[in-house]
Structure 1
Amino acid sequence: MERNDFEDFVQEVLDGGHLDGSVEGIAQQVVAQGLSSLSKKQDYVFQQDFMGEFHTDGCGVCSNPIPWSEMYDAYHNGGNCSHCDHGLAKLENE
């Protein structure tokens, strides 16, 4: 089964060592079996403890949605898409 961008994002968070306890196991299950494999309780924990921490609704600068492929970077750069993060970095270097 081929992983999608969302599952790759979950794997990036796992690889970054940001998780422990039950949410770590739930995230591993999401990567291995998909979000639809979670029980209602697991889904609740995942939504609260994973998505609540690592998901960004939209870029903090332009408000555009952030693709899953950029979500981990957005977590580390204050919630910005790669385009705006690059622009901000250029401004800081001037």
Structure 2
Amino acid sequence: MKVDPTGFEGYVKELLEFKRLDDSNDMVIGIAKLIATKGIEALTEPQLFAFTKHGILPHLYLGECGRCAHDIPWSEMLVAVEESGNCAYCQHLIDKDD
């Protein structure tokens, strides 16, 4: 999983804002709030591992676009995960063809 700090932090803020993280998991919510306020650099390796394993994977992360197989930018991840499985460009091409 790629972790570009700026994009990843923005994605975590989106997940918190739209309540997409498991509210029953206090650890995940706490780590997400830490990422949102202090940045990914504030995390220890075990915190990052725990958040990735229990907060993001497998249901809130796509490794690649379902159409072109390129990485999906963090800024497009939520839409890709919840709706299309594709990067914004490929989804635009698909929608245009419809």
Fold equivalence (TM over 0.5): yes
TM-score, normalised to structure 1's length?
A: 0.80
SS at match of 1:54: coil
Which residue does 2:50 correspond to in 1? Answer: 45
Q: Distance in 2 between matches of 1:40 and 1:78?
A: 31
Which residue does 2:67 correspond to in 1? Answer: 61
Which residue does 1:35 correspond to in 2? Answer: 40
Residue-pair matches, total: 90
Which residue does 2:7 correspond to in 1? Answer: 5
Matches within 5 A, 1:64-75: 64-75=70-81
Q: Distance in 2 between matches of 1:15 and 1:79?
A: 21
Runs of 5+ in structure 1 lacking a partner? none
Identity of aligned residues (%): 34
CA RMSD of aligned residues (A): 1.9
Which residue does 1:23 correspond to in 2? Answer: 28
Q: Distance in 1 between matches of 2:43 and 2:53?
A: 14
Deviation (angstroms), 1:39: 2.6
Q: Is the 8 A contact 1:77 1:85 kept in 2?
A: no
TM-score, normalised to structure 2's length?
A: 0.77
Which amino acid in the other structure matches residue 30 of structure 1? I
Structure 1 stretches (4+) deviating beyond 3 angstroms?
none
Q: Distance in 2 between matches of 1:14 and 1:47?
A: 15
